């Protein structure tokens, strides 16, 4: 069961127990899974607008898909040699730098 001291590193460690893909598909398997699950999230969000599906049960289904996205992110990060915590910290640092430079909006990786 989930303990009170849950964090991204704990999540990643627990999530790894469910990774059953072969070593030879390391990196590509979670990357493709991430793309697929991201599409499922987008499809469900689309249905909120198209069909008016704005109820708590449907939002719970979206949250489950977001959990799948998180799992693939955790596995991809680990397969690349990073903890999910490191990736989260790098992302916040990048966003802080962009905000400080006034480039939080716009295009491109290196703004």
The rounded average pLDDT for each run of 10 residues, N- to C-terminus, in the chain (111 residues) is 79 96 96 98 95 91 98 98 97 94 80 66
Would you state the pLDDT for residue 3?
67
pTM value is: 0.87
Q: Is the four-CA dihedral 61, 38, 12, 31 of positive or negative sign? A: positive
Would you state the pLDDT for residue 89?
97
* Alpha helices, DSSP H, located in 1-111: 8-16, 28-51, 56-79, 84-101
Burial (Cβ within 10 Å: 0-12, 13-18, ≥19) of residue 24: exposed
Would you state the pLDDT for residue 79?
98
CATH of 8-82, one of 1.10.287, 1.10.3470, 2.40.128, 1.10.101: 1.10.287
The C-alpha atoms of residue 73 and residue 35 are separated, in whole angstroms, by 10
Would you state the pLDDT for residue 6?
82
């Amino acid at each position: 069961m989930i303990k009170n001291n849950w964090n991204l590193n704990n999540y990643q460690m627990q999530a790894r127990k469910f990774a059953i893909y072969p070593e030879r598909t390391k990196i590509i398997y979670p990357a493709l899974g991430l793309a697929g699950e991201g599409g499922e999230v987008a499809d469900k969000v689309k249905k909120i607008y198209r069909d008016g599906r704005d109820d708590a049960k449907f939002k719970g289904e979206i949250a489950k898909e977001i959990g799948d996205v998180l799992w693939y992110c955790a596995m991809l990060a680990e397969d690349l040699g990073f903890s999910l915590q490191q990736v989260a910290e790098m992302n916040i640092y990048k966003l802080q730098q962009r905000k400080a430079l006034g480039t939080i909006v716009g295009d491109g990786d290196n703004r």
